[in-house]
Amino acid sequence: MAPGGITVRRIEVGHAGEPGAYTVTVGADLLAGLSVPERHVALIHPVDLPREFVAQVQAALNPAVTVEVPARDDCKTLDVLGGVLSRLAGANIPRDGAVVGLGGGAATDLAGFAAASYLRGVAFYTLPTTLLGMVDAAVGGKTGVNLPEGKNLVGAFWPPRAVWCDTGTLASLPQAVFREGAAEAFKHGLISDPSLLPRVLDPEFRPGGALLEGTVADAITVKAGVVTRDPTERGERAYLNFGHTLAHALEAVTHHGVSHGDAVGYGLHYAARLSRALGGSDLTDHTRAFLRWQRPPPLPALTYEDVAPFMARDKKADADGVRFVLLRALADPYLTRVPESVLRAEFTGWQADLEELGLGGAGLPAAPLHNPAPT
Protein backbone atom coordinates (compact mmCIF):
# COMPACT_ATOMS: atom_id res chain seq x y z
CA MET A 1 0.00 0.00 0.00
CA ALA A 2 1.11 3.53 -0.76
CA PRO A 3 0.76 6.32 1.84
CA GLY A 4 -2.90 6.95 2.58
CA GLY A 5 -3.89 3.34 1.90
CA ILE A 6 -3.83 3.60 -1.91
CA THR A 7 -3.30 0.23 -3.58
CA VAL A 8 -0.24 -0.09 -5.76
CA ARG A 9 0.51 -2.45 -8.62
CA ARG A 10 3.86 -4.18 -8.97
CA ILE A 11 5.06 -5.51 -12.30
CA GLU A 12 8.11 -7.74 -12.57
CA VAL A 13 10.57 -7.24 -15.42
CA GLY A 14 12.88 -10.16 -16.03
CA HIS A 15 12.95 -13.33 -13.99
CA ALA A 16 13.22 -12.96 -10.22
CA GLY A 17 16.69 -13.68 -8.92
CA GLU A 18 18.37 -13.32 -12.30
CA PRO A 19 20.69 -10.42 -13.20
CA GLY A 20 18.83 -7.43 -14.58
CA ALA A 21 15.46 -8.29 -13.01
CA TYR A 22 13.60 -5.46 -11.28
CA THR A 23 10.17 -4.33 -10.11
CA VAL A 24 8.04 -1.49 -11.46
CA THR A 25 5.74 -0.05 -8.79
CA VAL A 26 2.68 1.91 -9.92
CA GLY A 27 0.58 4.00 -7.55
CA ALA A 28 -0.04 7.47 -6.17
CA ASP A 29 2.12 9.31 -3.61
CA LEU A 30 5.22 7.12 -3.92
CA LEU A 31 8.00 9.73 -4.07
CA ALA A 32 8.05 10.63 -0.39
CA GLY A 33 8.55 7.00 0.66
CA LEU A 34 11.51 6.16 -1.56
CA SER A 35 14.48 4.20 -0.30
CA VAL A 36 17.58 2.79 -2.02
CA PRO A 37 20.43 0.79 -0.43
CA GLU A 38 23.24 2.94 -1.91
CA ARG A 39 24.56 5.66 0.41
CA HIS A 40 25.96 7.94 -2.29
CA VAL A 41 23.29 9.04 -4.77
CA ALA A 42 23.27 11.46 -7.70
CA LEU A 43 19.85 12.86 -8.60
CA ILE A 44 19.29 13.99 -12.20
CA HIS A 45 16.16 15.90 -13.20
CA PRO A 46 14.99 18.34 -15.90
CA VAL A 47 15.04 22.03 -15.10
CA ASP A 48 11.29 22.45 -15.61
CA LEU A 49 10.23 19.72 -13.16
CA PRO A 50 7.95 20.95 -10.35
CA ARG A 51 10.12 21.76 -7.36
CA GLU A 52 7.93 19.79 -5.00
CA PHE A 53 8.86 16.53 -6.74
CA VAL A 54 12.57 17.34 -6.50
CA ALA A 55 12.23 18.31 -2.84
CA GLN A 56 10.41 15.07 -2.00
CA VAL A 57 13.10 12.92 -3.58
CA GLN A 58 15.90 14.95 -2.02
CA ALA A 59 14.30 14.54 1.42
CA ALA A 60 13.90 10.80 0.91
CA LEU A 61 17.33 10.01 -0.60
CA ASN A 62 19.64 12.85 0.57
CA PRO A 63 21.61 12.92 -2.71
CA ALA A 64 25.27 13.87 -2.72
CA VAL A 65 24.67 15.92 -5.86
CA THR A 66 21.58 17.11 -7.74
CA VAL A 67 22.05 17.84 -11.44
CA GLU A 68 19.56 19.88 -13.42
CA VAL A 69 19.48 19.20 -17.16
CA PRO A 70 17.62 20.90 -20.02
CA ALA A 71 13.99 20.03 -20.54
CA ARG A 72 12.79 17.32 -22.87
CA ASP A 73 15.00 16.21 -25.76
CA ASP A 74 17.30 19.20 -25.32
CA CYS A 75 19.00 17.14 -22.60
CA LYS A 76 19.70 14.16 -24.85
CA THR A 77 23.00 15.36 -26.32
CA LEU A 78 26.59 14.29 -25.93
CA ASP A 79 27.45 17.72 -24.54
CA VAL A 80 24.88 17.46 -21.77
CA LEU A 81 25.95 13.89 -21.04
CA GLY A 82 29.56 15.03 -20.65
CA GLY A 83 28.51 17.73 -18.23
CA VAL A 84 26.51 15.26 -16.14
CA LEU A 85 29.43 12.82 -15.97
CA SER A 86 31.72 15.64 -14.82
CA ARG A 87 29.26 16.52 -12.06
CA LEU A 88 29.22 12.89 -10.88
CA ALA A 89 33.01 12.80 -10.82
CA GLY A 90 33.17 16.16 -9.04
CA ALA A 91 30.84 14.82 -6.35
CA ASN A 92 33.02 11.69 -5.94
CA ILE A 93 30.15 9.32 -6.58
CA PRO A 94 31.80 5.91 -5.98
CA ARG A 95 31.40 2.65 -7.84
CA ASP A 96 28.91 1.49 -5.22
CA GLY A 97 26.89 4.69 -5.61
CA ALA A 98 23.75 5.20 -7.69
CA VAL A 99 22.20 7.53 -10.25
CA VAL A 100 18.51 8.36 -9.86
CA GLY A 101 16.64 9.74 -12.87
CA LEU A 102 13.57 11.84 -12.02
CA GLY A 103 11.39 13.29 -14.76
CA GLY A 104 10.15 12.52 -18.24
CA GLY A 105 11.46 9.95 -20.68
CA ALA A 106 14.22 12.16 -22.07
CA ALA A 107 15.72 12.89 -18.66
CA THR A 108 15.56 9.28 -17.55
CA ASP A 109 17.12 8.11 -20.84
CA LEU A 110 20.00 10.50 -20.21
CA ALA A 111 20.32 9.53 -16.54
CA GLY A 112 20.40 5.85 -17.43
CA PHE A 113 23.13 6.35 -20.01
CA ALA A 114 25.12 8.39 -17.49
CA ALA A 115 24.76 5.53 -14.99
CA ALA A 116 25.85 3.00 -17.63
CA SER A 117 28.88 5.10 -18.60
CA TYR A 118 30.19 6.46 -15.30
CA LEU A 119 32.88 4.19 -13.80
CA ARG A 120 31.76 1.65 -16.45
CA GLY A 121 28.41 1.30 -14.74
CA VAL A 122 26.78 2.20 -11.43
CA ALA A 123 23.33 1.42 -10.03
CA PHE A 124 20.42 3.20 -11.68
CA TYR A 125 16.89 3.95 -10.45
CA THR A 126 14.09 5.54 -12.43
CA LEU A 127 11.31 7.85 -11.21
CA PRO A 128 9.23 8.76 -14.27
CA THR A 129 6.88 11.72 -13.82
CA THR A 130 5.20 11.71 -17.25
CA LEU A 131 2.85 9.20 -18.81
CA LEU A 132 5.30 8.66 -21.66
CA GLY A 133 8.07 7.95 -19.19
CA MET A 134 5.96 5.50 -17.20
CA VAL A 135 4.58 3.33 -19.98
CA ASP A 136 7.64 3.40 -22.21
CA ALA A 137 11.00 5.05 -21.45
CA ALA A 138 11.43 3.93 -17.84
CA VAL A 139 10.88 0.23 -18.56
CA GLY A 140 13.25 -1.96 -20.52
CA GLY A 141 16.74 -0.70 -19.80
CA LYS A 142 17.28 1.25 -23.03
CA THR A 143 19.27 4.40 -22.34
CA GLY A 144 20.88 6.92 -24.62
CA VAL A 145 21.10 10.27 -26.34
CA ASN A 146 20.44 11.64 -29.82
CA LEU A 147 22.71 12.78 -32.64
CA PRO A 148 21.88 15.39 -35.28
CA GLU A 149 21.64 12.45 -37.68
CA GLY A 150 18.86 10.74 -35.74
CA LYS A 151 17.13 9.70 -32.56
CA ASN A 152 18.73 7.43 -29.93
CA LEU A 153 21.74 6.56 -32.07
CA VAL A 154 24.09 6.45 -29.05
CA GLY A 155 23.24 4.46 -25.95
CA ALA A 156 23.42 1.26 -23.95
CA PHE A 157 21.20 -1.38 -22.42
CA TRP A 158 21.40 -0.66 -18.69
CA PRO A 159 18.43 -1.89 -16.66
CA PRO A 160 17.37 0.03 -13.57
CA ARG A 161 17.41 -1.60 -10.15
CA ALA A 162 13.82 -0.42 -9.61
CA VAL A 163 11.21 1.88 -11.15
CA TRP A 164 8.62 3.88 -9.22
CA CYS A 165 5.72 5.35 -11.22
CA ASP A 166 4.04 7.89 -8.93
CA THR A 167 0.80 8.57 -10.80
CA GLY A 168 0.16 11.58 -8.59
CA THR A 169 2.82 13.44 -10.58
CA LEU A 170 0.67 13.20 -13.72
CA ALA A 171 -1.70 15.84 -12.33
CA SER A 172 1.04 18.41 -12.93
CA LEU A 173 1.09 17.77 -16.68
CA PRO A 174 -0.65 19.94 -19.25
CA GLN A 175 -3.39 17.95 -20.95
CA ALA A 176 -1.45 17.96 -24.22
CA VAL A 177 1.60 16.40 -22.56
CA PHE A 178 -0.53 13.68 -20.94
CA ARG A 179 -2.07 12.89 -24.32
CA GLU A 180 1.40 12.70 -25.90
CA GLY A 181 2.28 9.88 -23.53
CA ALA A 182 -0.93 8.05 -24.29
CA ALA A 183 0.44 7.25 -27.76
CA GLU A 184 2.71 4.59 -26.29
CA ALA A 185 -0.10 3.07 -24.24
CA PHE A 186 -2.33 2.98 -27.33
CA LYS A 187 0.51 1.36 -29.29
CA HIS A 188 0.72 -1.37 -26.64
CA GLY A 189 -2.97 -1.97 -27.25
CA LEU A 190 -2.44 -2.31 -30.99
CA ILE A 191 0.48 -4.73 -30.77
CA SER A 192 -0.52 -6.83 -27.76
CA ASP A 193 -3.52 -5.95 -25.54
CA PRO A 194 -6.54 -4.59 -27.48
CA SER A 195 -8.40 -3.96 -24.21
CA LEU A 196 -6.19 -0.89 -23.81
CA LEU A 197 -7.60 0.79 -26.92
CA PRO A 198 -11.03 1.83 -25.58
CA ARG A 199 -9.61 2.54 -22.13
CA VAL A 200 -7.06 5.03 -23.44
CA LEU A 201 -9.85 6.93 -25.22
CA ASP A 202 -12.20 6.80 -22.22
CA PRO A 203 -12.81 10.10 -20.35
CA GLU A 204 -11.79 8.35 -17.12
CA PHE A 205 -8.28 7.82 -18.45
CA ARG A 206 -6.90 11.04 -17.03
CA PRO A 207 -4.99 12.20 -13.94
CA GLY A 208 -7.16 11.29 -11.00
CA GLY A 209 -9.53 9.29 -13.21
CA ALA A 210 -10.89 5.87 -12.33
CA LEU A 211 -9.03 4.18 -15.22
CA LEU A 212 -5.64 5.79 -14.69
CA GLU A 213 -3.63 3.37 -12.50
CA GLY A 214 -5.03 0.21 -14.05
CA THR A 215 -4.45 1.37 -17.62
CA VAL A 216 -0.93 2.57 -16.85
CA ALA A 217 -0.10 -0.71 -15.11
CA ASP A 218 -1.52 -2.83 -17.92
CA ALA A 219 0.37 -0.83 -20.54
CA ILE A 220 3.58 -1.35 -18.56
CA THR A 221 2.75 -5.05 -18.28
CA VAL A 222 2.80 -5.33 -22.08
CA LYS A 223 6.25 -3.83 -22.31
CA ALA A 224 7.53 -5.76 -19.29
CA GLY A 225 6.52 -9.03 -20.88
CA VAL A 226 8.21 -8.21 -24.16
CA VAL A 227 11.49 -7.06 -22.63
CA THR A 228 11.56 -10.04 -20.28
CA ARG A 229 11.42 -12.36 -23.28
CA ASP A 230 13.78 -10.24 -25.42
CA PRO A 231 15.91 -7.95 -23.24
CA THR A 232 18.33 -6.77 -25.94
CA GLU A 233 16.03 -6.52 -28.99
CA ARG A 234 17.09 -9.68 -30.78
CA GLY A 235 13.51 -10.48 -31.82
CA GLU A 236 10.05 -9.46 -30.69
CA ARG A 237 11.21 -6.38 -28.78
CA ALA A 238 11.39 -4.66 -32.15
CA TYR A 239 7.57 -4.84 -32.17
CA LEU A 240 7.53 -2.11 -29.54
CA ASN A 241 8.68 0.21 -32.34
CA PHE A 242 5.37 -0.01 -34.19
CA GLY A 243 4.82 3.47 -35.63
CA HIS A 244 8.29 4.64 -34.60
CA THR A 245 10.11 4.50 -37.93
CA LEU A 246 8.24 7.54 -39.22
CA ALA A 247 7.88 8.99 -35.71
CA HIS A 248 11.63 9.24 -35.13
CA ALA A 249 12.03 10.73 -38.61
CA LEU A 250 9.46 13.41 -37.81
CA GLU A 251 11.30 14.27 -34.62
CA ALA A 252 14.66 14.47 -36.35
CA VAL A 253 13.58 16.39 -39.44
CA THR A 254 11.99 19.11 -37.28
CA HIS A 255 14.85 19.24 -34.75
CA HIS A 256 12.38 17.89 -32.16
CA GLY A 257 9.84 20.56 -32.94
CA VAL A 258 7.48 17.57 -33.00
CA SER A 259 7.50 15.85 -29.62
CA HIS A 260 8.02 12.11 -29.32
CA GLY A 261 4.47 11.30 -28.21
CA ASP A 262 2.90 13.41 -30.94
CA ALA A 263 5.25 11.89 -33.52
CA VAL A 264 4.27 8.39 -32.39
CA GLY A 265 0.60 9.28 -32.78
CA TYR A 266 1.29 10.29 -36.37
CA GLY A 267 3.53 7.27 -36.91
CA LEU A 268 0.91 4.81 -35.71
CA HIS A 269 -1.45 5.92 -38.46
CA TYR A 270 1.23 5.61 -41.14
CA ALA A 271 2.13 2.13 -39.91
CA ALA A 272 -1.55 1.15 -39.92
CA ARG A 273 -1.83 2.29 -43.54
CA LEU A 274 1.30 0.29 -44.48
CA SER A 275 -0.12 -2.76 -42.69
CA ARG A 276 -3.32 -2.55 -44.70
CA ALA A 277 -1.41 -1.99 -47.96
CA LEU A 278 0.55 -5.22 -47.39
CA GLY A 279 -2.57 -7.29 -46.78
CA GLY A 280 -3.20 -6.83 -43.06
CA SER A 281 -6.46 -5.92 -41.36
CA ASP A 282 -7.63 -2.34 -41.79
CA LEU A 283 -6.84 -0.81 -38.40
CA THR A 284 -6.83 2.80 -39.60
CA ASP A 285 -10.13 3.55 -37.86
CA HIS A 286 -8.35 2.91 -34.56
CA THR A 287 -5.42 5.17 -35.39
CA ARG A 288 -7.70 7.91 -36.77
CA ALA A 289 -9.72 7.77 -33.56
CA PHE A 290 -6.55 8.11 -31.53
CA LEU A 291 -5.37 11.15 -33.50
CA ARG A 292 -8.77 12.79 -33.00
CA TRP A 293 -8.45 12.17 -29.26
CA GLN A 294 -4.78 13.11 -29.01
CA ARG A 295 -5.16 16.32 -31.05
CA PRO A 296 -1.41 16.82 -31.73
CA PRO A 297 -0.23 20.13 -33.20
CA PRO A 298 -0.40 20.12 -37.01
CA LEU A 299 2.75 19.06 -38.80
CA PRO A 300 4.83 21.33 -41.01
CA ALA A 301 4.63 20.77 -44.74
CA LEU A 302 6.89 17.78 -45.40
CA THR A 303 7.70 15.66 -48.41
CA TYR A 304 8.61 12.01 -48.53
CA GLU A 305 12.12 13.11 -49.49
CA ASP A 306 12.35 15.08 -46.23
CA VAL A 307 11.72 12.07 -44.00
CA ALA A 308 13.11 9.17 -46.05
CA PRO A 309 16.81 9.71 -45.11
CA PHE A 310 15.91 9.61 -41.43
CA MET A 311 13.76 6.50 -41.79
CA ALA A 312 16.78 4.88 -43.47
CA ARG A 313 18.74 5.34 -40.22
CA ASP A 314 16.10 3.59 -38.13
CA LYS A 315 17.53 1.22 -35.52
CA LYS A 316 15.65 -1.72 -37.08
CA ALA A 317 17.53 -1.26 -40.36
CA ASP A 318 20.12 -3.87 -41.29
CA ALA A 319 22.57 -4.28 -44.15
CA ASP A 320 19.67 -4.79 -46.56
CA GLY A 321 17.80 -1.65 -45.54
CA VAL A 322 14.86 -0.50 -43.44
CA ARG A 323 12.45 -2.90 -41.80
CA PHE A 324 9.03 -1.83 -40.57
CA VAL A 325 6.93 -3.23 -37.75
CA LEU A 326 3.47 -3.88 -39.19
CA LEU A 327 0.30 -5.66 -38.06
CA ARG A 328 -1.46 -8.59 -39.69
CA ALA A 329 -4.30 -7.91 -37.27
CA LEU A 330 -4.70 -6.49 -33.77
CA ALA A 331 -2.03 -7.99 -31.48
CA ASP A 332 -0.34 -9.76 -34.40
CA PRO A 333 2.81 -7.76 -35.25
CA TYR A 334 5.59 -8.72 -37.61
CA LEU A 335 8.77 -7.21 -39.06
CA THR A 336 9.12 -6.76 -42.80
CA ARG A 337 10.56 -4.70 -45.63
CA VAL A 338 8.21 -2.45 -47.55
CA PRO A 339 8.68 -1.61 -51.23
CA GLU A 340 9.65 1.99 -51.90
CA SER A 341 6.59 2.45 -54.09
CA VAL A 342 4.32 1.47 -51.20
CA LEU A 343 6.13 3.74 -48.75
CA ARG A 344 5.66 6.69 -51.11
CA ALA A 345 2.04 5.95 -51.95
CA GLU A 346 1.03 5.47 -48.32
CA PHE A 347 2.89 8.63 -47.30
CA THR A 348 0.72 10.53 -49.77
CA GLY A 349 -2.40 8.83 -48.43
CA TRP A 350 -1.30 9.49 -44.86
CA GLN A 351 -0.90 13.19 -45.64
CA ALA A 352 -4.40 13.28 -47.16
CA ASP A 353 -5.81 11.69 -43.99
CA LEU A 354 -4.06 14.31 -41.88
CA GLU A 355 -5.55 17.07 -44.02
CA GLU A 356 -9.02 15.62 -43.39
CA LEU A 357 -8.27 15.60 -39.66
CA GLY A 358 -6.98 19.19 -39.78
CA LEU A 359 -3.45 18.10 -38.86
CA GLY A 360 -1.40 18.52 -42.01
CA GLY A 361 0.86 21.11 -43.53
CA ALA A 362 0.17 24.08 -41.26
CA GLY A 363 2.02 23.69 -37.98
CA LEU A 364 5.53 24.61 -36.87
CA PRO A 365 6.21 27.03 -39.74
CA ALA A 366 9.47 28.24 -38.20
CA ALA A 367 10.95 24.79 -37.53
CA PRO A 368 14.18 24.40 -39.53
CA LEU A 369 14.33 21.18 -41.50
CA HIS A 370 17.53 19.18 -41.24
CA ASN A 371 18.34 17.34 -44.44
CA PRO A 372 21.32 15.08 -43.76
CA ALA A 373 24.10 14.42 -46.19
CA PRO A 374 23.66 11.23 -48.20
CA THR A 375 24.86 8.10 -46.47
Q: What's the rounded Cα separation, in Å, for the pair 93 and 99?
A: 9
Cβ pair 281, 275 in contact under 8 A: yes
Cβ pair 298, 362 in contact under 8 A: yes
Q: From the candidates 260, 269, 273, 323, which is the catalytic residue?
A: 260
Q: Parallel, antiparallel, or unpaired for β 98-103 and 324-329?
A: unpaired
**Quick count: other Cβ atoms within 10 Å of Cβ 148?**
10
Q: Parallel, antiparallel, or unpaired for β 332-336 and 324-329?
A: antiparallel
Is position 370 annotated as part of the catalytic site? no
Q: From the candidates 233, 236, 251, 346, which is the catalytic residue?
A: 233
Q: 48: number of CA atoms within 13 Å, CB side?
A: 13
Sequence-distant (6+) residues with CB within 8 A of 281 are 275, 327, 328, 329, 330
Is position 241 annotated as part of the catalytic site? yes
Q: From the candidates 40, 68, 199, 241, which is the catalytic residue?
A: 241
| DSSP bridge partners of 324 | 336
Is position 255 annotated as part of the catalytic site? no
The secondary structure of 325-346, three-state, reads EEEEECCEEEEECCCHHHHHHH
Q: From the candidates 248, 256, 286, 323, which is the catalytic residue?
A: 248
Is position 356 annotated as part of the catalytic site? no
Q: From the candidates 40, 45, 142, 323, which is the catalytic residue?
A: 142
Q: From the candidates 40, 187, 199, 244, which is the catalytic residue?
A: 244
Q: From the candidates 45, 199, 223, 269, which is the catalytic residue?
A: 223
Q: From the candidates 51, 120, 234, 305, which is the catalytic residue?
A: 120
Is position 260 annotated as part of the catalytic site? yes
Is position 180 annotated as part of the catalytic site? no
Cβ pair 125, 45 in contact under 8 A: no
Is position 244 annotated as part of the catalytic site? yes
Is position 15 annotated as part of the catalytic site? no
Q: From the candidates 184, 213, 236, 346, which is the catalytic residue?
A: 184
Is position 276 annotated as part of the catalytic site? no
Q: From the candidates 237, 269, 273, 313, which is the catalytic residue?
A: 237
Is position 120 annotated as part of the catalytic site? yes
Active-site residues, by number, are 120, 142, 184, 223, 233, 237, 241, 244, 248, 260
